[in-house]
Chains A and B, each alone.
Chain A
């Protein structure tokens, strides 16, 4: 049994699905890291992702094109961010409460829309919903394992990986990234440096919405072409957690997303064995706890080393 588990845990198909499963986390976290770095405690990833799942399906259903679905997904993501921004940046309401409100209404609203528009409950499946097609690269064919893991994915997967590099450059090599980090550490100092703090807050928030919108689209239109009630099922939270643990550094966030992707892949492959499914389903969340624990250990020393 143990041998079987190990064989599956290190199999090519597990690694191949690791990358696919990390993608939804990658989009949200690469777009959202600026928002977090600017000092915004935004917990609304789950809501944004769920809305964009639904609207991407709707867009694809109406037009028959996954690209329109993507546009719908990003659009609704931005719209939800604007709602969040209006509550937190304009009316200065508590960000945590604003996010909880968004998260808890999202499930109800999407389910309601599902019944109104598609007349079904539980799952929306329809031939008119079209997914992205996998792309085949000829030059990869004789690269062995590399080919098996990386070839024949939807275009979004490749974009996600490029995004990591871009996000890193933006964070550490552009005025935008530097200013965002500055705002997060000392808002007043940034103000005296002539930085329009509010403008940067809004831009980073909209980036978060747009890219988490891609995450939602990825969940629905990267192959399965359907919408299921409460579809992200915690992936929004994992996105947020990877940003926090990665301390806004896109490369670190990338590694953590891979870890979460891998633990989700384990759930899939180990599900084929006759193990209790409940235990297997726990793996990603146990991974979160372990990562948080290790992360916390590093900081633990003495009583007063709380940075002021």
Chain B
């Protein structure tokens, strides 16, 4: 082993996809036992750089050095063997397998040459869990677990594979505040034990909190290297985007109209007959932004699914939209009636990653408005619409016929938001609209939401970012344990007061 002061060095890494230069002579030096953050706009090339490190992509040129020694990986397995572990933006888990099987797959210990030695594997996993204080249910099936738990599973998985350098690509975008604190405790613990963390996030506050070093990328290049105590959020944001960013919504007096959506006694059960939403009532007027804050998993998902016709509410529930009972109608009719939907799970429900950008841009609206001349899809019109989204929402892409899978995470999100925002909808149901989006683009999307409301669109905003709900909403509701509580009007309650309701502080009072 060399005795370099850096555990990892990437030198002059260059990677192109066709015309596009995703990484342009990037240099990165990471010290052992530190948290090194990489931040940058959507499409800046962060994930690409990490994919090169784990050998998912081959660099066009450049070198990787581990402990001062040049290395050439043959494949991802090789990278894993050399101690590089990655936790992906989209989790790499097998839904129907147990946590245990998920962890050992590919790295099974064997007895008699061909049988999996479950005992030995379990001992090793339990050792890791106790050494780094993780508490995960090894025999549970993955699809039954919460996201925060799954993330712990991912971390234990890379540790089990013997990782020394752990890359986390936007690990906090799916976590609750408690989950994030849990993750940070784990990260500090890991670093304390000599592991090295590469941390990618768009949430600058977190980056400042957890990092030892920060590298800033823009358009495929490294533009700055800073220490967290030299900068603040605003400075980081401007370094990233190349201009000053105001992290504040430009809230104006709303123009509230008539009641557009009225929900009465909404009760929803999941497929195991567990009540997820209990007797929820609310109303949204046109021109109003109604925000629902709450800890992830409090029932938000079920409300939205019922509202959009993806799930049947129980008897006695009533959803009236624009004077029409839509309690039991299909998503297709919701679209036709003018209800738009930005789902939380963009890869699962928002897009078809294997289809092209233009196909995804009209998806869901192929029936509702235009895009077809009688029987055939009007590709010209669809392409024009795609261009409109790309232009207005700054989606960084090469061509409309490219597959969505080739876009960076944040750019996919911008495309989905653009698709729903640019239609003449009367009601928009938006879940976590700025998930995985850089600060510059958040500013823009917030402004769009406010503009739409000014034009008379009713907005139901469901976000796990309390700040987002508080900045944008005219009326705030808080969901806790499947029930809705009042969160006051815009600016009426403080962040602490709402935070308390989110944790059940008002449950007794009601």
Residues of A within 8 A of B (CB): 169, 173-176, 178-179, 181-182, 185-186, 188-195, 301-305, 307-308
Is B96 close to A, CB under 8 A? yes
Which single residue of chain A is at the shortest CB-CB distance from B347?
Answer: A308
A–B complex contacts, Cβ < 8 Å, 16 sampled: A169-B115, A174-B114, A174-B115, A175-B114, A178-B116, A179-B106, A181-B96, A182-B105, A189-B92, A190-B105, A191-B76, A192-B76, A192-B92, A194-B76, A303-B312, A304-B310
Q: Which residues on the A side are within 8 Å of B86 (C-beta)?
A: 192
Is B56 close to A, CB under 8 A? yes
Q: Contact check: which of B56, B94, B107, B110 meets A185 at CB < 8 Å?
A: B94
B57 to chain A, nearest CB (A): 13
B330 to chain A, nearest CB (A): 7
Is the beta-carbon distance between A178 and B108 smaller than 8 angstroms?
A: yes
A167 to chain B, nearest CB (A): 14
A56 to chain B, nearest CB (A): 30
Report how far A189 CA is from B76 CA in the complex, Å: 11
Is the beta-carbon distance between B309 and A182 smaller than 8 angstroms?
A: no
Q: Which residues on the B side are within 8 Å of A307 (C-beta)?
A: 95, 143
Q: Which residues on the B side are within 8 Å of A193 (C-beta)?
A: 77, 92, 105-107
Q: Contact check: which of B88, B108, B312 meets A175 at CB < 8 Å?
A: B108
Report how far A169 CA is from B330 CA in the complex, Å: 45
Which single residue of chain A is at the shortest CB-CB distance from B348?
Answer: A308
Given contacts A182-B94, A190-B105, A192-B56, contact A174 B309 (CB under 8 A): no
Report how far A271 CA is from B330 CA in the complex, Å: 49
Known: A178-B105, A185-B95, A303-B311. 12 other contacts (CB 8 A): A175-B108, A181-B96, A181-B97, A185-B97, A186-B93, A190-B105, A193-B105, A194-B76, A194-B80, A303-B312, A308-B345, A308-B348
Q: Which residues on the B side are within 8 Å of A178 (C-beta)?
A: 97, 101, 104-105, 108, 116
Is the beta-carbon distance between A301 and B271 smaller than 8 angstroms?
A: yes
Q: Which residues on the B side are within 8 Å of A195 (C-beta)?
A: 105-106
Is B126 close to A, CB under 8 A? no
Q: Which residues on the B side are within 8 Å of A186 (C-beta)?
A: 92-95
Report how far A174 CA is from B108 CA in the complex, Å: 9
Which single residue of chain A is at the shortest CB-CB distance from B79?
Answer: A194
Instruction: Choose among A179, A195, A304, A305 the residue with the greatest number of B CB atoms under 10 Å from its CB.
Output: A304
Q: Which residues on the A side are within 8 Å of B133 (C-beta)?
A: none
Residues of B within 8 A of A (CB): 54, 56, 75-77, 80, 86, 88, 92-97, 101, 104-108, 110, 114-116, 143, 271, 305, 309-312, 330, 345, 348-349
Inter-chain CB contacts under 8 Å: number: 80
Report how far A305 CA is from B270 CA in the complex, Å: 8
B62 to chain A, nearest CB (A): 22
Is the beta-carbon distance between B94 and A192 smaller than 8 angstroms?
A: no
Report how far A185 CA is from B102 CA in the complex, Å: 11
A34 to chain B, nearest CB (A): 15
Report how far A50 CA is from B272 CA in the complex, Å: 44
Q: Which residues on the B side are within 8 Å of A301 (C-beta)?
A: 271
Instruction: Choose among B76, B95, B106, B310 the residue with the greatest number of A CB atoms under 10 Å from its CB.
Output: B106
A297 to chain B, nearest CB (A): 14
Q: Which residues on the A side are within 8 Å of B76 (C-beta)?
A: 191-192, 194
Report how far A293 CA is from B46 CA in the complex, Å: 49
B476 to chain A, nearest CB (A): 27
CB-CB nearest 7 A-B residue pairs: A194-B77, A193-B106, A189-B92, A304-B310, A185-B94, A175-B108, A304-B311
Report how far A301 CA is from B330 CA in the complex, Å: 15
Report how far A191 CA is from B92 CA in the complex, Å: 10
Q: Contact check: which of B106, B114, B271, B349 meets A308 at CB < 8 Å?
A: B349
Which single residue of chain B is at the shortest CB-CB distance from A174?
Answer: B114
Q: Contact check: which of B80, B97, B312 meets A182 at CB < 8 Å?
A: B97
B328 to chain A, nearest CB (A): 9
Report how far A174 CA is from B117 CA in the complex, Å: 9
Q: Contact check: which of B116, B143, B348 meets A173 at CB < 8 Å?
A: B116
Q: Which residues on the A side are within 8 Å of B92 (C-beta)?
A: 186, 188-189, 192-193
A279 to chain B, nearest CB (A): 39
Q: Contact check: which of A175, A181, A191, A194 meets B94 at CB < 8 Å?
A: A181
Q: Contact check: which of B75, B106, B312 meets A190 at CB < 8 Å?
A: B106
Report how far A189 CA is from B349 CA in the complex, Å: 20
Instruction: Choose among B94, B107, B312, B348 the residue with the greatest number of A CB atoms under 10 Å from its CB.
Output: B94
Report how far A191 CA is from B77 CA in the complex, Å: 9
Which single residue of chain B is at the shortest CB-CB distance from A177?
Answer: B116
Report how far A249 CA is from B426 CA in the complex, Å: 49
Report how far A3 CA is from B310 CA in the complex, Å: 51
Which single residue of chain B is at the shortest CB-CB distance from A191?
Answer: B76
A173 to chain B, nearest CB (A): 5
Is the beta-carbon distance between B94 and A189 smaller than 8 angstroms?
A: yes
Report how far A169 CA is from B107 CA in the complex, Å: 18
Which single residue of chain A is at the shortest CB-CB distance from B56?
Answer: A192
Which single residue of chain B is at the shortest CB-CB distance from A299?
Answer: B271
B198 to chain A, nearest CB (A): 16
Report how far A169 CA is from B112 CA in the complex, Å: 13
Which single residue of chain A is at the shortest CB-CB distance from B75?
Answer: A194
B482 to chain A, nearest CB (A): 17
Q: Which residues on the B side are within 8 Å of A308 (C-beta)?
A: 345, 348-349
Report how far A230 CA is from B94 CA in the complex, Å: 40
Report how far A188 CA is from B75 CA in the complex, Å: 14
Q: Which residues on the A side are within 8 Å of B310 (C-beta)?
A: 303-304
Report how far A52 CA is from B155 CA in the complex, Å: 49
Q: Which residues on the B side are within 8 Å of A192 (C-beta)?
A: 54, 56, 76, 86, 88, 92
Q: Which residues on the B side are within 8 Å of A182 (C-beta)?
A: 94, 97, 101, 105-106
B299 to chain A, nearest CB (A): 15
Report how far A186 CA is from B347 CA in the complex, Å: 14
Is the beta-carbon distance between B305 and A304 smaller than 8 angstroms?
A: yes
Q: Which residues on the A side are within 8 Å of B88 (C-beta)?
A: 192
A206 to chain B, nearest CB (A): 18
Q: Which residues on the B side are within 8 Å of A179 (C-beta)?
A: 105-106
A111 to chain B, nearest CB (A): 41
Is the beta-carbon distance between A302 and B94 smaller than 8 angstroms?
A: no
Q: Which residues on the A side are within 8 Å of B104 (C-beta)?
A: 178
Given contacts A175-B108, A175-B110, A178-B108, contact A189 B116 (CB under 8 A): no
